[in-house]
Amino acid sequence: MPIDTSLKFEPINIAILTISDTRTTDTDTSGALLEERINSAGHNCIEKKIIPDDVKLIRETLQALSNKEEIDCIITTGGTGLTGRDTTPEAVIEIADKTIEGFGELFRQISFSKIGTSAIQSRALAALINKTYVFCLPGSKGACKDGWDEILQYQLDIRHRPCNFVEIMPRLSEK
């Protein structure tokens, strides 16, 4: 992926939200992986939470985080599968200002190359909520690794060419 080294890296502020009925601070390996990747890339992980799989709580938490002026991006892990308690996509879609369809499509394409047709079970998605990027990844450590290493590390780097999410952040609130 082309990085324009003539440009200066611009760190952004990212919140991590783990959505799980079973994960704790000690067992949240996906959230830990994301935090390590975010910090290693030079960004700021400014908030990290774990909440249960509850559509109302997910919605309220995303709304509250996206209303914080200092948060540019939220990355969620968990709740994107097909079971009855997997409700992250439903919560996001209810409050999204815009959806970013290409994120889920690209994530599933990358997953397909690694796990074959099992990728079809992922409902990874992305959206804008209150001018804040929200990227929803599955709860597995491997899925978070793929989402960050193959997509987000590039799209959240202003130096990535031909385009990236960071360079358009100042224009997200244009009418």
Domain ranges for the chain, please list them: 13-171
- Angstrom distance (rounded) from CA 14 to CA 125: 17
pLDDT at 75: 98
Place of tokens 């994120």: 103
- Structure token pair of residue 108: 């599933």
- Angstrom distance (rounded) from CA 41 to CA 36: 9
> If you count them, how many residues does the chain have?
175
Instruction: Report the SS3 class of residue 6.
Output: coil
Answer whether 0.85 is exceeded by the pTM. yes
Q: pLDDT (tens digit, 0 to 9) for every residue of the chain, 175 residues total?
A: 689 999 999 999 999 999 999 999 999 999 999 999 999 999 999 999 999 999 999 999 999 999 999 999 999 999 999 988 999 999 999 999 999 999 999 999 999 999 999 999 999 999 999 999 999 999 999 999 999 999 999 999 999 999 999 999 999 988 7
Phi then psi for residue 35, to 5 deg, are: -60, -45
CATH number of 13-171: 3.40.980.10
